[in-house]
Each structure stands twice: as C-alpha cells, then as structure tokens.
A and B are shown apart, each in its own frame.
Chain A
Amino acid sequence: MPIAAFSDKKYLVVMLKDGGEDNYGTLISREPQHVAASMVARPSLAFNQSELDGTYAAARLAGTQFSLHPALQPLVQIWNSGEMAITHRVGTMFTNLAGIPIAEIREATNAFYTGSILFPSGLGAHDKQAFSTVSMITRDFVDTSGRPRAVAESGFLGRLAERFESFAGGSTIPMTILSGQIVPPSTLLAADGLTQGLSIPLAGGVFRRNWTGSATQEAALRRLDAVMVEAQTEPRMEAFRKANLVANEGVAFLQPVVEGGTGAYAVDQSFPGSPTSGWQGTMRTFARAIEADLRQPTLRRRVMLIGSRAGYDTHTAQGKTAGRLATLHADWAAGVVCFRDAMIRLGVWDNTLMIDHSEFGRTLRENGSFGTDHAYARDAFAFGGAVRGRGKDGSSGLFGQYPTVLSTSGTGTFDLVGGQAGGGALAPGISLEQYWDEPLRWFGADAADIADALPRRASFGESVNLIA
C-alpha cells in the first residue's frame, strides 16, 4: 500500500488485559434470570437485583439490559456520548458456530475434533490462546481446504505492521509502540522480520543512553553505533542489530516523552495526578507519544500503541466491589476516560480507535477460592470518535448475541449450552477475524493486508459493523 494512500494520521490503541478478564464481572446483565443464575453460580462475586437497580444504578448502560461493574462507572459518560461499543461473545473460532443448531453443536463437540466443528487446540492456556486469538495462525492452522498447515505462530498486528512499515518515513522506529509487560505484546506483534515494536518505559521514568555522562561511555556508544551499521548474516544477530537501531533512535524520539516534566505536554492536563503506573500511566505515556508524533507531521501516518497490564487471571480472591478485579477496572476506566479527554484536546479523537483484548473470558461459576477460572469468549469493548456507539446510525451500541439463559450446566469446555460452555463459559458467537476485520480496515488495511493479517477471514461471516 503506497504511503500516498494515507493523507491523515490514525492511532490504533490496543489494551491487553493479561490473564483473561472475567466477562461476567465486567458487563453485567440485569435480566432477572441472569441475575438469579449468577447469584447461585458466583455467590461472592455477583450483584443482586437491588444492587444493580439501586445502589449501583449509575453504572447502568442506558437503553440496554446491562450494567457495567461499578468500578467501570466512569465509562458510562462515553457510552452516553455514543463513542463506545460492546460486542458480545467474541472469541477464538475455527469454523463458524453462529447459526448452527445447539443440538448439532453438542453432538459434534462431545467428540473433540470430530464432526463439522473444529476447535483450535490450546484453548484455556494463556499463551496458546493468546497466540491463537491475537495471531489467528497457530501450528494447527487449517487452510480453506481443511488441510493442516504448519505455520509458526505470529501476530496479526505484527504482520500488519510489517506491511505498513514503509509508513515510518525512513525511520527505524516502527509504527508500533508498546508499553507494559513485554511478553504478551511481543506475542501480538511477532512477525518474521519484525522482531518487536518500540517499547518504552512509562512517563516519569528514565530513558537515556549515557546514564552517567561519562566521556568513555559516550565514545563506546558511538563506536557501537558504527558497528551496528554492518548487516549481519546470522539471522539472530541481525535481529539484535535491528533492535539496537530501533532502541537508539527510539531513545532520541521518546526520551522527552518519558522524561519530560509535568506540563511539558498539553495532554498532561487530562491526567490528574500525573500517573506513572498502571493503565493510567500507560495511557498518559501514549497520549504524550501521540502529541510528540503530531509535532512531526511528515513522519508516521499510522501508529499502533499496545498497552498491557497483568493481574486479570483472577483464580483466587477476585473480589466484588473491592479487590483485584475492581482495582483493575477502576484504573482502566480512569485511563480510558483521561485518554479520551487528551485526544479530544489534541483534536484527534475521531482519528483514534481503542480496543480492549484479553486471551479469554472466565467461568460464570465461582471456584472454591472465591475466584473464577479460564473460559472462552468474552465481551469486547471499543472506544473512539469513529465507533458506532449508541444512537449513531441507529446503533444500540451493542453487537452480537448475549445468551438468553445463563447456566453452568455444561460439564466441559466444549459442552455448549445456549451459547455457553462448561462452567458457564461464554461460547464465541463472533470470531476474532470478524471482529478485527473492520478496525484493521479503518486503520488502512486493504484486501491484501487483511488476507495476510487474518488469513482465515473468509471462513467466517459478516463483520460486526462496529465503525461508523
């Protein structure tokens, strides 16, 4: 895709909730049967009807049967502005489950890998499902003819970034910028030839090459820079060399972003307390990076920012209104709200799309340790000026099909009952290919890009229609 095709700047912000977010503790149905079933299945975690309709009524999503977890209540203002969308039952699929009679699914899935339904292996394993969800190519990838194809795992965002790499304007800085834990974003970005994005510490840290100001060290760095000019024949050494180039130029670009004092960037006004950690610190760093990028209008036309935060693997002591999940929710909601304010301040909110992601959802059933276990699909969130939220083009702001009846009667991961699997796991109704197709196209992907990034796209149905 030629650079001339992009006349504007766009920012794709991906928020990785590392560990598997509890969907039932994030988006909460107020339907009486759902509330009653939840109270039985997760007694220490569920909200009763009076709490949802009374105590925490401010977290209700207008025009729907749903409430947000009370700690997510700040997001309601974005919902009301029509800039937030929620898609039910997004998950890893091999073939399209939607529209297949439940009886057939149950019959097919009682025997693993038999019948017309194929499930990817590694479901419920953090890294494997992260691979299969974010990369959509795994070692057991089956092509359109049903033939197994040995393809090493790679990340669909990494593959897309490689196709867009020329948009860096000759810079070694890739269009992808990371913050947070290293491993999950690397997984997401992995692609042959693109070892990594440019990862940065959070604002408030230190990010420089000559830490001590030593003349000898400065000389050593100059010599090393000269060494790094020479391409390596050994592929891993070449990757190391490239990583050094990215790091070196990245420091020059991002050092002011990381080290600049409060007030150095207009977007700081959107982040009360100048957060330096968690989702709020990540979002502040991202907002600063975007402001810095806007000061260089001739450089990157597309920037992908990937943040992650661990802690969503809430097997124990998940907590209801206080505790691990509530803390994560509150931090995330504050980060999203502040970031939106910052983008509006910069005038690029309509050019920004924020999407959350987690390797899987969690069981409706609470375990004996007051936590929840690995499950399957989840409710996915998107924010941005271009998102088809409530009231836009007649949208309800909700996409996909939520289960009519909540139950934990299934006994295994693949024992599907009414859109749920064992333990009350949400079964996917929308494949990740369907879900991500539109955001990638909004970002500038054409048909060839989609074919590379989402090679199984054709196996599934219509897109979600998430973008206005």
Chain B
Amino acid sequence: MGFITPFLSASVAQAADKQLGFWGRLWNMMKPPEDISVHGNLIDWLFGYTTYMNIFFFVLVCVGLFGFSWAYRASRHPKAYYTYGNKKIHVIVATIIGLSVFIGIDMNITRMSNDDFVGVFTNWPTEKDKPVRIQALGQQWAWHFRYAGKDGLFNTEDDVVQLNDLRLPIDRKVIIQVLSKDVIHSLYFPNARRKVDAIPGRLTRLWFQPTKAGNWDIACAEMCGTYHYRMKAHLTTYSPEDYAAWLSEAQAKALEENDIENPELFWGWKWQW
C-alpha cells in the first residue's frame, strides 16, 4: 500500500489546516487563490452569481430527474400518459424554461461580463494614469521582464531586466505588454485572476492593479513543451516606498552590470500606447 503514503504525508503537511476539520479544509480547497487586485473581485462575483443561478437550474433538473423517476416508476405508475408533448401548454412550458435560462442567466451574465470587459479589463491605462510599464517575454521555459530605465524608454542600455522575477508596487496600475520568443505561452497571474497569451510575432497586453504586498506565483498557462510546469516566475508586490527603493537599486545595478555588447539583452521593443 505504498501509494497511500503520499496521501498521508500530504495530510501531515496540511497539519496546520487540521484544526479546520474536514469541511473547513474542503471549503479551503474550493476557494480561488487570494485576490490581490482591485478588479479581481468582479470575476469572483460573476463566478459566484453564475454558480448560484446554475445551482438553481440544476436543482430543478434534478428534481425532475429524480422526482419523476421515483414518482412514475412502472410499479407505482403502470399506465403512462399518452402525449406527444405538442399541446399548447406543453409548448408554452418548454418555451418558458428555455427563455428563463436564457434571460435569467445568459443575458444577465453576458451584460455584466460585457460591462466589466469594456469598462475594466480592456479599459487600458493611458499615459495620463502613469502606470507601471512592463514588457514580458516568454521563452521555453522562463519569463523575462523588462522595466524602462531612467530614460523612460524601452530596449535601451539602462533597462532593468529580470528573469522569472517580477516586482510591482501596490496601488498603482500595472500594464504589461507580452510577447513570446518561440512557442505560445500564457502569462498567468492566479492571484490577480488574469491571464493573456504570449504569442510570437504579436503583442498582447494585460493590466491590473495590485492591492496587497506579498509574494505570489506567476505561471505559464498554455502548454509550451516538456517543462511547461516549471515555467514559473515569482511576483513580489511592494508598498510604493519599498518599490521605489528596489527600483532605484535595480536601475543602478542595471547600469553597472548590463552587458551592452550582448545582443540577447535587447529583446525589448518600443513601447506602444
């Protein structure tokens, strides 16, 4: 029974959760990761809304399925009611069910999702918002991040270039332009509920605004080869002051250490608003 062992040891590893009890731990697993962005709650809220509507309609289906199966089983209800279901009342009921699903869930979530999509997720920060600008490049199997240096221009000698290590300030909008060097990747921030594909030859972008300082994971969500699962980067969110301190240090270091002879360094591109 060797294969039971990891299960047990996993449980031991979760000893901290033990006091939660079984249901507590189950509930814990059913939650998305901690939300660290201003607008992540929109997605969580819409998910919750859809879930409640779904549960309502699925319970209806189950009531019909199990209820009818029980109530009209042959031993209890030997004579079936002969109908084609084309009486007016039948058609009306079927239509009402169809429309209530469509109007009750679909049109509602479409409208809300559309509002969020247009109003928030594709409402890109402009130059006036002074967002943190990042360029991200995916390659098999690592993420590169680039900050403009003191000159505010990308792809110049004083850029801060990070490997698998993204640092962001909180309470400021962040806009990331994403590109891939080889195959398609997908830049995935589980904690910000956001992802966007990194595609060779085509810029995509993504923005969010962190709210909490801490350490988080960044992943690649699109299959990109054998070590796809290892394409993990680290996100550190700082308070504005800590971020400023880190940035000035990193910029100084970049001026010192950037090897301008190395063409590999200049994978960036001109920032396009």
Answer yes or no: do A and B interact.
no
List residues of A whose CB falls within 8 A of some B CB. Answer: none
List residues of B whose CB falls within 8 A of some A CB. Answer: none
